[in-house]
Structure 1
Amino acid sequence: MTVELIDEERYDRIMQDTVLPDLALCRHEGWMTSQSASGKGGILVGEADRDRYGSDELLHYVCYDRGEFQDRTSEPCQARCRGAVVISFGFTEFADKYQELTWYFLMEGYSVCILEHWGHGFSGRGVSDPNLVWVDHWQRYVADLAAFCSQVGRSYAGDRPLVLYAHSMGGGVGARLLERFPVMIDKAILSSPMIVPRTGLMPAVAWGAANGACLMGWSRRMAPGFGPFNPEINMDNYPGGSRARVTWARRQRRDQVRFQTSAATFGWVRESLELSRAVLRPSQCGQVESPLLVFQAQHDRFVLPSPQERFVAQVRDGGCQAELVKIPDSMHELYQMPNAVLGPYLDRIFAFLDEPCQLDEED
């Protein structure tokens, strides 16, 4: 890896003085309609036309153009544009949480495009409580991400590879995207993917309880085990994590109410488990064609490890290249680990991306 990692001892200063100004040079924001029950969605909406839509119809996204970054930054970076990375983030996350990772991708030659999933960030939510995440159907996530990749992501990639980087919930959504649209993505990285979430109960039991609550009209109510946003940090919840990185992300959440989602609804729990069922069908795993790199965190409090292993094995059985990398002494958010872990993690990602793919071979 040629990118120099941010010094954790000077993390805030480097983010404020270098990373954020660099990102501002090439940052673009936009809006897209979400997938509706009638099957309509994926329409890109200009700023002047936003008032024609209800706030719950629109999805917010942020993109960073590699060409503009190269022309304007003083930082040494790759001489050529290598494609685009679409980031599919996790439960209760938001686009700006990925500023540091975006900077590394830009330095390595990739434009970056981040869709704020339904229920997250500045996108539509369907609930008024800023703590809650609700979704009517998991297929909305997949359809929205597919429309974003095919229109926005591909426009930034051009004739270069389009890469998916997907974390946690976004990894479960990304896995289903790879099954449903096998030729859309050229390479995929799933980091701590939510193939099956941890619920404290057997998945079938958890689904039954959540479905029963939804049938009683409680789909938009907070599920047990969750609570409102807490601005304080308990590092015991981030085993092995970088205090500098965790603190930076928490400060972002404290400063912006739209970033303070913290709790699943019964509807979200039911749909996350429905998504898991769909992803793990062997016939669907066999549809994946994109070379796949999957990371598993040892101390993961949010997703189950064995379904990740099962998913990778079934993708391999279908004839697709898939590798599972286990990261010892690591927490769920691998991109927020200290430099000693983050460096090898990024090295493995960029080595994977450096391997030839079909588009490169056609140049």
Structure 2
Amino acid sequence: MQLNLIDESAYAQTMTKLVRPALAGCRDEGWFNPAQAEREAGLTPRGGGLHYLCYDATKFDYEREDGATAVFRGAIVISHGFTEFAEKYDELVWYFLKSGYSVCVMDHRGHGKSARDVDNPSLVWIDDWHRYVVDLAGFARTIGQQYAAGEPINLFCHSMGGGIGAATLEQYPSLFDRAVLSCPMIAPQTGMPMWLTRALVDVLCACGMGRHRVFGQKDFDGVLDLGPYQLSSEPRERWYHQLRCNTREYQTYCASFEWVHQAMRMNRAILKSSACAEIETPILLFQAGHDIWVRNKPQNVFVNRVIDGGGQARLVHIADSEHEIFSMPNAVFGPYLEQVLAFFSAPMIVASEE
């Protein structure tokens, strides 16, 4: 279907007066308790709920928004990126709802309004990367399936959320019907060789520095730095920044050494050929030509190993995009969104039995 993208010249006004009121009319807010899922996976629950926002496509249709389809297509679970939060995806949720999908977005542990294990609101820390995966799977199997209502349940991931998503597809191969990995963190960009990063963070964490902020990063100070977003849509970036300024829980901004340590461990696990061969969910992976946050080569390796293992995976390289493709100007974002929606709505290919 053809979607009319928000006019960037009136972006904040449209989000304030049209998009957010419509989303509020079909939104449910809650807290998912991951304890049972974590215990079943052999993890010790750390306590606290994981905040989520869910949007009901049926209620959205009642709003009679222009361009909304009357066809219910199932649900999309969104796995957000590092230092992000559910509300950052309001615009994308709007388009998914218009296309007939209910949407479920959970703040990962240590992000947004979810439970966190450090006092500094700017700092992201996790004790074990498996916790991200188990939490996402538990959320999708319960809340996500509820909103799918017997129709397909799909996964949309970005950056860190894409690394979590890839690992989830490996460990829970029958959970999702389709998955879009947008610039997934198969491996983070650390500014140094991977082997050196691993060695350094291993030593620092062993010396008790795991909860310390990574060198060179800083706490959130409210200043908008558009330096890393030269190609991105400035109205979108300013909107995200204002959301962060307005809500203290959205001010996660920097990594701890333990988070980097766990990201390195997740990277190794994801790229194991045996793990890639477990994937049954068809994957569409988007890669940005100007990505300074995650490495592109490991994404290529991941896709090739999924295919070699008998899975379905396709890589789309967008040469003129930065890391957040959904934050690019409409000229880039539009074709990207069309491919995402076409992938989710394409007829399922069922293997014949011989």
TM over 0.5: yes
Alignment of 1:1-363 (within 5 A): 1-35=1-35, 39=39, 56-357=47-348
Deviation track 1:288-311 (CA, whole Å, cap 9, x = no partner) reads: 111100000111111000000000
Deviation track 1:204-253 (CA, whole Å, cap 9, x = no partner) reads: 22122112111111111101121111322232211310000000000000
Question: Secondary structure at 1:357's aligned position in 2?
Answer: coil
Give me the whole-angstrom Cα distance separating, in 2, the residues matched to 1:255 and 1:3.
30
Give me the whole-angstrom Cα distance separating, in 1, the residues matched to 2:26 and 2:46.
26
Cα pair 1:56 1:123 within 8 Å, conserved:
no
Deviation track 1:172-197 (CA, whole Å, cap 9, x = no partner) reads: 00000000011100000000000000
Give me the whole-angstrom Cα distance separating, in 1, the residues matched to 2:130 and 2:53.
22
TM-aligned CA deviation for residue 156 of structure 1? 0.5
Cα distance change on mapping 1:321 and 1:189 into 2, 3 Å: same
Deviation track 1:23-48 (CA, whole Å, cap 9, x = no partner) reads: 0010001112235897269xxxxxxx
Give me the whole-angstrom Cα distance separating, in 2, the residues matched to 1:134 and 1:88.
17
Cα pair 2:79 2:165 within 8 Å, conserved:
yes
Relative to the length of structure 2, the TM-score reads 0.95
Cα pair 2:37 2:138 within 8 Å, conserved:
no
For structure 2, list consecutive stretches of 5 or more residues without a partner in the other structure.
none
Give me the whole-angstrom Cα distance separating, in 2, the residues matched to 1:76 and 1:297.
29
Give me the whole-angstrom Cα distance separating, in 2, the residues matched to 1:143 and 1:351.
29
Cα pair 1:210 1:269 within 8 Å, conserved:
yes
Cα pair 2:38 2:134 within 8 Å, conserved:
no
Give the length in aligned residue pairs: 348
Cα pair 2:37 2:134 within 8 Å, conserved:
no
Question: Secondary structure at 1:328's aligned position in 2?
Answer: strand
Give me the whole-angstrom Cα distance separating, in 1, the residues matched to 2:303 and 2:183.
12
Deviation track 1:160-180 (CA, whole Å, cap 9, x = no partner) reads: 110000000000000000000
Give me the whole-angstrom Cα distance separating, in 1, the residues matched to 2:262 and 2:46.
22
| Same amino acid, percent of matched pairs | 45
TM-aligned CA deviation for residue 55 of structure 1? 9.5
Question: Secondary structure at 2:16's aligned position in 1?
Answer: helix
Relative to the length of structure 1, the TM-score reads 0.92
Give me the whole-angstrom Cα distance separating, in 1, the residues matched to 2:160 and 2:38.
24
Cα pair 2:185 2:295 within 8 Å, conserved:
yes
Give me the whole-angstrom Cα distance separating, in 1, the residues matched to 2:345 and 2:36.
38
Deviation track 1:310-359 (CA, whole Å, cap 9, x = no partner) reads: 00000111111111001112110111000000100001111111211269
Over aligned residues, Cα RMSD in angstroms?
Answer: 1.8
TM-aligned CA deviation for residue 79 of structure 1? 1.1
